Chain A
């Protein structure tokens, strides 16, 4: 008979606000923590750990993770984890979904945030500006939360500081190694392209949406498909043109409009790629269909 790993909701653990900003020292002193953190458990809130000094470790899904000085460990909610029995140094922010998502803007942000798409993430120490920004937001959050009476105002302050902290970390994550998360990028890019290919044909639009530079986007697409991002977009449009020509009875003007192109440009574009005019292509397809 297997023992089910305990799953702690935020009400069990976090205070009623739905957010906690503590140092590891403070955590170890909490009674409720002493009972649960050293065994494997799941917690339905998000964790952002910042470690200081050497020799810090954490365990996620049976894997031992070593974290160096001044780096961040981000653990998603409901992930099997346990804290190290060896005392760690640093601080942490723990927050649940409900705390953060007070407005539509914040909800959208959290849902799209790439930091919480994996089980866990390690952010190594970045440039001095990054470290000092993290320092700043941690101290601002501590200031807002360490009060006897927390008013509505303090909640808003906390939420905004946390939002900015997440933004900064997300930026650093993207900067670090876009090839590492290029798989997500490619998938997202293709998804976006499916939605917007008729209206937006420029690489810069997609790069902005994905929060990377155009150059990086092109590099990623090239790494996977051996063509540049622009070529990929063009190819997508032309494949759609082929489909429309072959399977529908729309005239060429309507097809060009559906693709968001000027008619004469469409014909030129098509011919340049396929060496025959759209009309001829359509005819040839009609002839082969019996």
Chain B
């Protein structure tokens, strides 16, 4: 299944065993990949980083942000997972579109795009057909267009602000790019305003106008996602994780329990248990 569009776009059928491997290797290990999941039929549930298991509905589309960890229960699912990196959405307008999509709709990074309409299903079929046809220079554009249209067709997704342009948008996008990389080392506003060369007031305004969020909310959100990923899929001790995230260990434990409602250790144990369960399940009946 090696059809790559410059190493940034993959399409898997949901009952493809390679998908599990792919998730283990790439998605859960801090590569910046988004995934859109179209669920045609399902018999069990899919869990991402939230405590609650996401209840899947048949004939629905989910869009998951980068960095979020995903755990698939072994399920009998029929559908497709479309995985793509941010660089796939190459042009500036498209990247802005993607970022805004996430920030406007669901802070937790998962957008339930609702029921797949007839046209969205056609889109997905066209995506599959395009993906499996022989590679040429035009394939990336074709796939990109289909993917964008797939998202745009969702009635439940809120598109307000998708087409804003101007200084605020530039600052807001630069800011989220910086946050992705520096949230752990730099927790002060002054760092970011220095990098972007704007005043704190402008930064506040941009974030409020574009994302309707404050600086602290965005910063903390990023840290939470990363801490989850390190806890569940990383092997370091909690002390080390706290250090990597830029916190003193005792402070980190206090913060974490305030965010998530349980101690890091407990959460880690819980998730590890789930992962083991899945692994055993998979070993026992590897189909």
A interface list, Cβ under 8 A from B:
103-105, 109, 129, 133, 136, 139-140, 143, 152-153, 156-157, 160-161, 163-164, 167-168, 170-171, 208-209, 211
A156, B159: Cα distance in complex, Å: 12
| Inter-chain contacts of B122 with A (CB < 8 A) | 136, 139-140
Interface centre among B90, B93, B123, B126 (most CB of A within 10 A): B126
**In the complex the two chains form, is B119's CB within 8 Å of A143's CB?**
yes
**In the complex the two chains form, is A171's CB within 8 Å of B141's CB?**
no
**In the complex the two chains form, is A153's CB within 8 Å of B162's CB?**
yes
Given contacts A156-B148, A157-B149, contact A129 B159 (CB under 8 A): no
**In the complex the two chains form, is A211's CB within 8 Å of B119's CB?**
no
A280, B222: Cα distance in complex, Å: 67
**In the complex the two chains form, is B137's CB within 8 Å of A211's CB?**
yes
Instruction: From the candidates A136, A161, A167, name the one contacting B141 in the complex (CB within 8 A).
Output: A167
| Inter-chain contacts of A211 with B (CB < 8 A) | 136-138
CB distance from B16 to the nearest CB of A (A): 23
B contact patch SS = helix
| Inter-chain contacts of B136 with A (CB < 8 A) | 171, 208, 211
B interface list, Cβ under 8 A from A:
90-91, 93, 119, 122-123, 126, 129, 136-138, 141-142, 145-146, 148-149, 152-153, 159, 162-163
| Inter-chain contacts of B159 with A (CB < 8 A) | 153
**In the complex the two chains form, is A105's CB within 8 Å of B91's CB?**
yes
**In the complex the two chains form, is A163's CB within 8 Å of B141's CB?**
yes
**In the complex the two chains form, is B91's CB within 8 Å of A161's CB?**
no
**In the complex the two chains form, is B163's CB within 8 Å of A152's CB?**
yes
A103, B90: Cα distance in complex, Å: 12
| Inter-chain contacts of A170 with B (CB < 8 A) | 138
**In the complex the two chains form, is A104's CB within 8 Å of B91's CB?**
yes
A69, B207: Cα distance in complex, Å: 55
Instruction: From the candidates B90, B146, B162, B163, name the one contacting A105 in the complex (CB within 8 A).
Output: B90
A129, B91: Cα distance in complex, Å: 30
A contact patch SS = helix
**In the complex the two chains form, is A103's CB within 8 Å of B91's CB?**
yes
Number of residue pairs across A and B with beta carbons under 8 Å? 55
Minimum-distance CB pairs A-B, first 10: A160-B145, A167-B138, A152-B163, A167-B142, A160-B149, A164-B145, A164-B142, A163-B145, A105-B91, A211-B136
30 pairs from A and B in contact (CB 8 Å cutoff):
A104-B91, A105-B141, A133-B129, A136-B122, A136-B126, A139-B122, A140-B149, A143-B119, A153-B152, A156-B148, A157-B149, A157-B152, A157-B153, A160-B145, A160-B148, A161-B149, A163-B141, A163-B142, A163-B145, A164-B145, A164-B146, A167-B141, A167-B142, A170-B138, A171-B136, A208-B136, A208-B137, A209-B137, A211-B136, A211-B137
A167, B138: Cα distance in complex, Å: 7
Q: Which chain B residue has the least Cβ–Cβ distance from A156?
A: B152
| Inter-chain contacts of A160 with B (CB < 8 A) | 145-146, 148-149
| Inter-chain contacts of B91 with A (CB < 8 A) | 103-105
| Inter-chain contacts of A156 with B (CB < 8 A) | 148-149, 152
**In the complex the two chains form, is B119's CB within 8 Å of A129's CB?**
no
A170, B141: Cα distance in complex, Å: 13
A153, B141: Cα distance in complex, Å: 18
Q: Which chain A residue has the least Cβ–Cβ distance from B159?
A: A153
**In the complex the two chains form, is A103's CB within 8 Å of B138's CB?**
no
A168, B159: Cα distance in complex, Å: 29
A160, B149: Cα distance in complex, Å: 7
CB distance from A64 to the nearest CB of B (A): 33
Q: Which chain B residue has the least Cβ–Cβ distance from A104?
A: B91
CB distance from B126 to the nearest CB of A (A): 6
**In the complex the two chains form, is B93's CB within 8 Å of A103's CB?**
yes
Additional pairs, 16, CB under 8 Å, beyond known A104-B91, A109-B141 = A105-B91, A136-B122, A140-B119, A152-B163, A160-B146, A163-B142, A163-B145, A164-B126, A164-B142, A164-B146, A167-B138, A167-B141, A167-B142, A168-B142, A171-B138, A211-B138
